[in-house]
Amino acid sequence: MRFLITAGPTREPLDPARYLTNRSSGRMGYALAGAARHDGHDVLLISGPTTLDVPPGVDFIQVETAQQMYDAVRDMLDGVDVAILTAAVADYRPVAYSEQKIKKQGERMVLELERTPDILGSMRSVFGFKGTLIGFAAETQDVESYARGKLERKQCDMVVGNDVSRSDIGFDSRENEVVLVFPDHVEYLEKDTKEHIAMHIIEHATIIRPK
C-alpha cells in the first residue's frame, strides 16, 4: 500500500528573524513513517522542520509553512491508499510578512492573524481523496469527544486523540497514550513508546475500509 504521512510543526514567518510555531518534535509522525515502511509499504513523509533523521527507505518532502504542506499533500495524493495527518499545522498565520525586521514600538503590539488552509478538512471535500483517512486530535480536555467531532466533520475513518496538556505524552515526548476513535467504536492504547503506538495505528490503517 502507499502511505502519505504528515509530521512535525509548521513555521509561519512574521519577519526575517521570527516565526510562529508550536512544540511538535515530529516524533509521532516519523514513528508512523518508520512503522509503515518496516511493514513493507511505500511511504511518503511530508514534514515541517524537525531535527529527526528520515527513516530509511521513506520518500521525503520538507516544507515549512501550512500553505506549503497543503500544496505538497494536494500534489502528492495520486495513488495514495492511506493518508495519516499527524502534523501540528498552525491554525493561524500572520496576515502580513514584513521584509524588514519589525522594530520595537511602545509597550504593546497587536499581531493580526488569518486562518491557514485546513489540510485534513480538504482531503475529502476539496481534494476528493477516496482512500483511508486518519487524522489526529491534539486536545487538553474531553479528548474522546473532540476526536469524535473531528472524525465526523472531516469525514475521517479514524482519529487518534491525545492529551497535549500532559508533559509525559503528546508534544515533544518519547511516549504517547492515545484513543483511537472509529465511526462505531473506540480503542484506548496504554502509554507506550511512540514507535509501539505507531505499530498499532499502522496495523489498523491497513485493515480499515475507507468510507
List interacting residues with ligand PMT (CB under 6 A): 6, 24-28, 66, 85-89, 91, 116, 118-120, 135-138, 150, 162, 164, 170-172
When the beta carbons of 172 and 203 are compared against ligand PMT, the nearer one is 172
When the beta carbons of 24 and 132 are compared against ligand PMT, the nearer one is 24
When the beta carbons of 91 and 203 are compared against ligand PMT, the nearer one is 91
**DSSP helix/strand/coil, 64:** coil
Kindly report the backbone phi and psi dihedral angles of residue 108, in degrees, each rounded to the nearest multiple of 5, phi listed first. -130, 155
**Residues 54, 60 contacting (CB under 8 angstroms):** yes
Minimum gap (Å) between residue 134 Cβ and ligand PMT: 8
When the beta carbons of 53 and 99 are compared against ligand PMT, the nearer one is 53
Cell of 184: 462505531
- Cα 92 to Cα 12: distance, rounded to the nearest angstrom: 8
- Cα 195 to Cα 173: distance, rounded to the nearest angstrom: 12
Minimum gap (Å) between residue 102 Cβ and ligand PMT: 24
Catalytic residue among 22, 50, 122, 193: 22
Minimum gap (Å) between residue 18 Cβ and ligand PMT: 20
Q: How many CB atoms lie within 10 A of CB 192?
A: 16
- Cα 47 to Cα 61: distance, rounded to the nearest angstrom: 6
Active site residue 22: yes
Minimum gap (Å) between residue 89 Cβ and ligand PMT: 4
Residue with CB nearest ligand PMT? 119
Q: How many residues does the chain have?
A: 211
Query: Which are the catalytic amino acids?
Result: 22
